[in-house]
Every structure is written in C-alpha cells, then in structure tokens.
C-alpha cells in the first residue's frame, strides 16, 4: 500500500513537531513521522532508532503509532519507555543509535503533545522538519520492509550515570525537588535515593493532567509551592523541572528564584576552573551580567540564537563545555554528552553548592543588581513578525545604534539593553529590557516602544519588572 500523508500546517515547528491531540496532531501523524523520519535514517545509511515517551495521557497512543511507522521502514527499533526527554538522549548516545524520537509535549498544556527528533546524534530541526513534511506529502519514503522491535529499561543505568558527577565533597544538603508531575518521576525518585543529603520530592507521581501546577519552571507562579516547601523545611535549595525534565528551575535557601542566566553564572565559574578560556554560550535573552561574569571568570562569552537545537549545534561547532538559555535549558559537554538535561544540571548545581561554604543566597546576592522586565510576548502575524524585525533593524542601522542581529535585534546603550525578536514557535514577538536603574529601564522601554510604533504596533504590557535578573 502506498504511503502519502499531509500534516496540519501548524504542527511543523522550528525545533519539533507539535500540536493539539486529535485536532492538529493525531495517531496518523505519529505513524507518518515514524514512516518518514525512518526513511531519513535508512537513506542516511542507518538502521537503528530509539523511541521514548513522556507522561502525557496521549503519549502511549502516539508512541505506538510512531513505532509502527518506523518498523515499516525496516528499522531496528528500541523502545526505552516512559521517562524524561534527556533519558532518550542518553539512550541515543549509549546505544549509538542512528535516530531518536521522543514523544513529548514538553511544558505545553495537557491537551498538547509533540515529537523531538535526533538524526545521527544531532538535533533534527528547521529545514529538516520542513523537508519531512514535504516528503510525507509526496509519499517520498523507502519501500516498506519488516523491522525488528525490542524494549530496553535504561533507568538504572541512566541514574547511575547522573549521580556519577556528584563529587560528594563538602556539606550534606537538604534539597526540595518539585517534579511537577513530570515524566522524570520514577527516575528522580531513584536519583535522590542515590545522592547524599536529605531530599524531599513534591508532586512525584507522573500525571499528564499536571494537577499541581503548569509544568514550566520559568514562570514564578509555578514555583510558589516549591518556594513554600524550601522555607518550611529550612532547605538549602529547591529544584523544579518542566514537563519532560530537559529544563530546570532553581530556588535558593531564602526562597528566591535564580533565573536561567544566574544558574549559568554559578555553573560557568565552576566549569571554567577546569576549562580555562573556554567558550560559554547563552541565548540573546540572557542578562549582560552573565556575559560579563563569564569573561571575569576567564571564559569567552558567546551570545547565540534562542532555541535548544541551535544552541546544541553551536556547542558542537565551538567545542563549548557549557551553554544555557533563559528558559532553563542547561547544556553540559563537560563530563556529559552536550545535551540539555534538567536532572543532570540539578546534580551539578548540588555539587557546586555542597563544595561552597556559603549558602546559595550569598552567591545570588553577590551578582550585580539590574532591573529587568520578564520576557514579554505579544501577538504578531507569523509573516509580519519577521518583517517587523527587518524594519526595526534597518532603522537602527541608519541611526548608528550599537546593535546585535544574531537573533532579532539586541540594542546596547549606556542605560543597559533591549531585545526584540520573532518567536520561532508562535505568532508572537518577544521583548526583554534590562537597565541599571529604574530611570534607565524606562528610557530603554520607551526606545523599544518607539520602534514598535514606527512599525504600526502598540505598546506591550511590561508589568512585572524585577531586580537581580
């Protein structure tokens, strides 16, 4: 039987395929991904594929259809079962797989799901995802053949490897972990049992309805339960994950949030002790404080485009041992495999804090204080959003502004900086502003709004500015 399949146009994203289950994403789509991605693997000379899935209610159904499609390509398919996305990345590395697919909706609402892919050990994204859609629509796949299927439980091996890089030196810590009902649940329980110190796990059960709170640790509201537990238990810190545990959230002993760039400063200082002069990568949304602190610690700070696939690719290109994003993706190539893993990042944070004689709050308070807005997202048509960036960039160049165009426009002034970029995953523009003081922050906001108004857009809501970030 010949194969042809058309995806919903909204489901083929920049870094993954995702949509609303039974509306823009179906079992038929999952089968088509297996059939078409499997053909990429076969045509590249590969024969092995590893598949995993997260804790969403729709994930087993989508994984089953995906596996059927991959088997029809004649592949040797290995199922690693339910767990965090980084466990699937680990499986891909350990089993030296030619391809890997994770069924996950990440931090999206319970009704959503999706697929993250790797081909020959590298992220499969951007033009490759668009090509997958085109090949599927044309039925451009390898001839049907019978594949083989096996199931492997890597949880014990993964946990053993996770805790290997905890030095065990220094203080015994009391740590609160908020699993957020994420797919890390069982792995996290095993991991904390293998770590020294005292560990309290909140929302340990894997539950795709996310009854406790939305599984996104970059939103302060989602950390309220963790903050309360850290204070109630007199803990040294609190660590949270997103829905598939490839991102981390961190709270110090005083219940204050450390954002993605602050976590990266903590880790960079430690990594640069053994990698003097190394490149440390962060996305364009990160604070200037991060880039300055990396340089001060003897590293080479590199600002790069937002997106986990783009950061991973740049790490491989530059030989960087460490990278991170404001969104809480932390990537270790130092002692690790170069992929983003919230659990592993958590272990490395514990290791750094245990070896320090001071509480985590002292580190946070030592960082220069700035005033910044949170990431402000506002609607803008998918086509128009890129045109707006082009218009703003052209005007700024004409004005002779100090501007970086790595990803959107990031403008530096004596007051601080402002950023405007087009989201790669939604019909929105993203803005962020950071100033040295309130007056400077206000001037930067006005400069950004002036540019938006010249492109026919109104002032976004900047409420929620905060210090130290």
Cα separations in angstroms, 160 against 152, 335, 346, 468: 16, 14, 14, 36
Whether residue 418 is found in the same domain as residue 353:
no
- What CATH number is attached to the domain comprising 433? 3.30.310.50
How is the chain split among helix, strand and coil, in percent rounded to 5? 40, 25, 40
- What CATH number is attached to the domain comprising 257? 3.40.120.10
Does residue 3 sit within a domain? no
Tally of domains within the chain:
3
Is the confidence at residue 467, as pLDDT, over 60? no
Whether residue 337 is found in the same domain as residue 403:
no
Q: Read off the pLDDT band of 466 (50, 70, 90).
A: low
Q: Read off the pLDDT band of 469 (50, 70, 90).
A: very low
Whether residue 346 is found in the same domain as residue 441:
no
Catalytic residue (one of 39, 106, 327, 372): 106
Report whether 222 contacts 216 (CB < 8 A). yes
Whether residue 146 is found in the same domain as residue 63:
yes
Is the confidence at residue 283, as pLDDT, over 90? yes
Does residue 1 sit within a domain? no
Is the confidence at residue 237, as pLDDT, over 50? yes
- Percent above pLDDT 70 for the chain: 99
Report whether 135 contacts 39 (CB < 8 A). yes
Query: Residues 253-258: what's their mean pLDDT?
Result: 97
Whether residue 360 is found in the same domain as residue 408:
no
Does residue 7 sit within a domain? no
Cα(223)–Cα(239) distance, rounded to whole angstroms?
Answer: 9
Does residue 340 sit within a domain? yes
Contacts of 439 (CB under 8 A, 6+ apart): 415
Report whether 411 contacts 434 (CB < 8 A). no
What would the pLDDT profile of 379-437 be if each residue is shown by its tens digit?
999 889 999 999 999 999 999 999 999 999 999 999 999 999 998 878 899 999 999 99
Tokens linked to 52: 């995993």
Least Cα distance to 292 among 171, 168, 436, 97 occurs for: 436
Does residue 11 sit within a domain? no
Whether residue 262 is found in the same domain as residue 388:
no
Is the confidence at residue 468, as pLDDT, over 60? no
| Helix (H/G/I), strand (E/B), else coil: 163 | helix
- Which among 105, 136, 153 is the end of a domain? 153
Q: Where are the beta strands (DSSP E) in 193-351?
A: 198-202, 237-241, 248-252, 257-258, 279-283, 300-304, 322-324, 330-332
Cα(186)–Cα(154) distance, rounded to whole angstroms?
Answer: 12
Place of tokens 């970030």: 469
Whether residue 269 is found in the same domain as residue 349:
yes
Whether residue 291 is found in the same domain as residue 312:
yes
Does residue 75 sit within a domain? yes
What would the pLDDT profile of 304-337 be if each residue is shown by its tens digit?
999 988 999 999 999 999 999 999 999 999 999 9
- Which among 316, 351, 366 is the end of a domain? 366
Whether residue 381 is found in the same domain as residue 307:
no
Does residue 94 sit within a domain? yes
- Which among 115, 130, 153 is the end of a domain? 153
Active site residue 183: no
Report whether 16 contacts 117 (CB < 8 A). yes
User: Residue 426 belongs to what domain range?
Assistant: 371-467
Cα(47)–Cα(38) distance, rounded to whole angstroms?
Answer: 9
The pLDDT value given to residue 464: 62
Whether residue 304 is found in the same domain as residue 402:
no
Whether residue 65 is found in the same domain as residue 186:
no
Whether residue 315 is found in the same domain as residue 183:
yes
Does residue 362 sit within a domain? yes
What would the pLDDT profile of 132-181 be if each residue is shown by its tens digit?
999 999 999 999 999 999 999 999 999 999 999 998 788 999 999 999 99
């Amino acid at each position: 039987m010949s194969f042809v399949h058309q995806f919903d146009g909204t489901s083929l994203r920049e870094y993954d395929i995702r949509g609303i289950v039974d509306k823009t994403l179906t079992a038929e789509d999952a089968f088509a991904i297996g059939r078409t991605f499997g053909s990429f693997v076969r045509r590249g000379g590969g024969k092995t594929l590893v598949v995993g899935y997260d804790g969403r209610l729709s994930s087993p159904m989508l994984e089953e259809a995906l596996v059927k499609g991959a088997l029809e390509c004649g592949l040797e398919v290995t199922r690693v079962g339910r767990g965090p996305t980084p466990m699937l990345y680990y499986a891909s590395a350990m089993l030296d797989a030619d391809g890997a697919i994770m069924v996950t909706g990440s931090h999206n609402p319970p009704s959503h799901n999706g697929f993250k892919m790797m081909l020959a050990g590298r992220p499969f994204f951007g033009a490759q995802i668009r090509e997958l859609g085109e090949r599927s629509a044309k039925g451009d796949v390898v001839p049907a053949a019978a594949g083989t299927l096996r199931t492997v439980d890597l949880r014990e091996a993964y946990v053993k490897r996770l805790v290997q890089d905890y030095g065990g030196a220094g203080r015994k810590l009391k740590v609160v972990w908020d699993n957020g009902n994420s797919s890390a649940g069982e792995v996290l329980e095993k991991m904390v049992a293998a770590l020294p110190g005292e560990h309290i796990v909140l929302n340990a059960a894997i539950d795709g309805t996310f009854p406790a709170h939305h599984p996104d640790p970059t939103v302060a509201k989602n950390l309220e339960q963790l903050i309360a537990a850290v204070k109630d238990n007199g803990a040294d810190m609190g660590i949270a994950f997103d829905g598939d545990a490839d991102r981390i959230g961190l709270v110090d002993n005083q219940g204050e949030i450390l954002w993605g760039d602050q976590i990266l400063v903590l880790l960079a200082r430690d990594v640069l002790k053994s990698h003097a002069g190394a490149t440390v990568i962060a996305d364009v949304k990160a604070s200037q404080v991060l880039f300055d602190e990396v340089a001060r610690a003897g590293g080479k700070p590199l600002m790069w485009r937002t997106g986990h696939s783009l950061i991973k690719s740049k790490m491989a290109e530059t030989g960087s041992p460490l990278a991170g994003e404001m969104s809480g993706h932390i990537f270790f190539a130092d002692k690790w495999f170069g992929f983003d893993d919230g659990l592993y990042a958590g272990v490395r944070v514990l290791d750094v804090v245990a070896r320090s004689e001071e509480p985590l709050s002292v580190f946070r308070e030592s960082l220069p204080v700035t005033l910044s807005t949170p990431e402000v997202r506002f609607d803008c048509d998918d086509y128009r959003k890129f045109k707006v960036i082009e218009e703003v960039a052209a005007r700024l160049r004409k004005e002779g502004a100090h501007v970086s165009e790595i990803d959107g426009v990031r403008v530096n002034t004596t007051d601080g900086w402002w950023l405007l970029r087009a989201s790669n995953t939604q019909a929105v523009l993203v803005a962020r502003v950071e100033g040295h003081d309130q007056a400077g922050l206000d001037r930067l906001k006005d400069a950004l709004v002036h540019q938006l108004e010249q492109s026919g857009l109104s002032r976004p809501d900047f409420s929620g500015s905060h210090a130290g970030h």
